[in-house]
């Protein structure tokens, strides 16, 4: 594979994460306007965005098999067609069923591109370089999550209809589509027929189970924590909503910076050891936040938590990809699916806890989930195959 083609595939991976970040994080900005558009209560309207997350989950889960049946290039080209149709339906329809279906389609498109983007990085880069590249790729999720809500705010402030926000997000896929047309993709079927049957026959080993559970616990713990931080700050410390929202901004800003820093540092460390240390530090900083008696400490705790936790998820995925000698798309998508299940379970798990025991109990549950991630990563050190496979040529 020539260097220019490798670079194009890498940028497809970057933009695939940017697309998902834009679709997921922009929801909070446009939700009120969409509720007014359909003349529905805010709580009822928020439930329809479950279709977006469901589409992402379904696509990531199914694409573990579809990658070996339908070429990556055809999937991305078909995704462009689906993206155009979904955005046009949002613009032309005034029906809640059509809106929900369009959200599901956007989720499917996002899940397909994200799973392909993740596989491309794990295919193109080996060893510790794979971890740093995957972490930098994940930073595009945060960057899009920062830029597109700002863009949405500008559009809505000028009384431009909310669906133009999704049209702007669609521009990201236009870039992916153009890069796709210019690129040559790895053919999974041809690799198998060439004698590399290890991809499908090599057992995954117990390390994959530990990593999959760690991915689920990490995402559930992270989103369960950050979703209730504003409510916790306003009820316990009587902060106003602007101050509480600023705490969340502290977390995501440090998270983005941490991704950039660790993308350069990870190649110098053993991945299992560094993710274990980061998980321990994250659990400790979350504990300090929950038990802080002075509100002045809260921003510092969140800055530290966001920074040290930023590399955990992508390192888990990287370690998963290194449990087999030949990178398995099914294995990578399996871990991604488990992480996405954590997203789906966020309010299913924390909602009843808040209703019965209060917001503090939800944060403590998240803290226990982070401790669980630490224990799972520690146990991984006894069974992981990444040290043997990290130098494999993929």
Contact of 263 with 134, CB cutoff 8 Å: no
Query: Domain 200-389, what architecture?
Result: Up-down Bundle (1.20)
Q: Examine the pLDDT at 187 and tell me if it is beyond 90.
A: no
Q: Would you say 5 and 119 are in contact if contact means Cβ atoms under 8 Å apart?
A: no
pLDDT, position 382: 92
The answer to whether residue 283 scores a pLDDT higher than 90 is: yes
Residues 172/173/178/179 CA torsion (nearest 10 deg): 80
Give me the mean pLDDT over the 113-132 stretch.
81
pTM comes to 0.74
Average pLDDT over residues 166-192: 85
Q: How confident is the model at residue 192 (pLDDT cuts 50, 70, 90)?
A: very low
How far apart are alpha carbons 31 and 23 in whole angstroms? Answer: 12
**190: pLDDT strictly greater than 60:** no
The pLDDT value given to residue 379: 96
pLDDT the model gives residue 389: 55
The pLDDT value given to residue 176: 95
* Helix residue spans in the chain (DSSP H): 3-25, 27-38, 42-48, 50-66, 72-92, 96-124, 127-157, 163-182, 188-193, 198-201, 206-236, 241-265, 271-290, 298-309, 312-321, 329-344, 346-357, 359-383, 386-389
Q: What is the pLDDT of residue 263?
A: 80
Residue 23 pLDDT exceeds 80: yes
Alpha-carbon gap, residue 78 to 57, rounded angstroms = 18
Domains 3-186 and 200-389 equal at CATH topology level:
yes
pLDDT given for residue 242 in this prediction: 65
**What secondary structure does DSSP assign to 19-38, as a single string?**
HHHHHHHTHHHHHHHHHHHH
Dump pLDDT digits (tens) for 326-365: 767 778 878 888 988 887 787 778 878 888 898 899 999 9
Query: How far, in Å, CA of 138 to CA of 15, rounded?
Result: 10
Q: Would you kindly state where each structural domain of the chain is located, as residue ranges? A: 3-186, 200-389
Q: What is the DSSP secondary structure assignment for residue 237, as one 8-state letter?
A: S
Mean pLDDT of 225-242: 81
b vs e for 94-108, b when ≥16 Cβ sit within 10 Å of the residue's Cβ? Answer: eeeeebbbbbbbbbb
Mean pLDDT of the chain: 84
Q: How many residues does the structure list for the chain?
A: 394
For 291-348, the DSSP string reads T-SSGGGHHHHHHHHHHHHTTHHHHHHHHHHTSSSS--HHHHHHHHHHHHHHHHTHHH
- Model pLDDT for residues 292-324, shown as the tens digit of each residue: 988 999 999 999 999 999 989 989 988 888 888
Cα(290)–Cα(225) distance, rounded to whole angstroms? Answer: 10
CATH class of 3-186: mainly alpha
């Amino acid at each position: 594979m020539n260097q220019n083609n490798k670079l194009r595939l890498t940028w497809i991976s970057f933009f695939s994460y940017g697309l998902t970040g834009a679709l997921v994080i922009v929801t909070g900005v446009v939700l009120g306007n969409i509720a007014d558009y359909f003349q529905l209560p805010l709580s009822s309207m928020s439930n329809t965005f479950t279709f977006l997350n469901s589409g992402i989950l379904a696509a990531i889960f199914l694409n573990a098999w579809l990658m070996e049946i339908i070429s990556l290039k055809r999937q991305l080209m078909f995704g462009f067609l689906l993206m155009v149709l979904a955005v046009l339906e949002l613009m032309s329809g005034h029906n809640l069923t059509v809106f929900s279906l369009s959200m599901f389609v956007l989720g499917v498109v996002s899940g397909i591109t994200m799973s392909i983007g993740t596989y491309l990085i794990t295919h193109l880069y080996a060893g510790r370089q794979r971890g740093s590249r995957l972490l930098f790729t994940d930073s595009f999720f945060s960057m899009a999550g920062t830029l597109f809500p700002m863009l949405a705010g500008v559009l809505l402030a000028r009384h431009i209809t909310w669906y133009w926000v999704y049209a702007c997000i669609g521009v990201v896929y236009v870039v992916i589509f153009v890069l796709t047309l210019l690129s040559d993709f790895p053919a999974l079927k041809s690799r198998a027929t060439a004698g590399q049957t290890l991809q499908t026959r090599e057992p995954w080993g117990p390390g994959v189970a530990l990593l999959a559970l760690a991915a689920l616990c990490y995402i559930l713990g992270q989103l369960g924590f950050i979703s209730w931080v504003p409510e916790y700050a306003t009820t316990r410390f009587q902060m106003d909503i602007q101050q509480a929202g600023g705490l969340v901004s502290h977390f995501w800003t440090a998270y983005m910076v941490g991704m950039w820093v660790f993308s350069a540092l990870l190649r110098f460390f053993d991945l299992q050891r560094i993710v274990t240390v980061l998980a321990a530090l994250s659990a400790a900083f979350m504990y300090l936040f929950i038990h802080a008696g002075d509100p002045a400490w809260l921003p510092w705790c969140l800055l530290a938590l966001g920074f040290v936790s930023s590399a955990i998820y992508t390192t888990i995925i990287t370690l998963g990809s290194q449990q087999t000698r030949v990178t398995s798309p099914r294995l990578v998508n399996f871990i991604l699916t488990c992480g996405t299940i954590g997203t789906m379970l966020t309010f299913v798990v924390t909602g009843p806890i808040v209703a019965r025991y209060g917001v503090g109990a939800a944060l403590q549950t998240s803290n226990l989930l982070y401790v669980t991630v630490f224990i799972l990563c520690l146990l991984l050190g006894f069974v992981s195959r990444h040290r043997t496979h990290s130098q494999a040529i993929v």
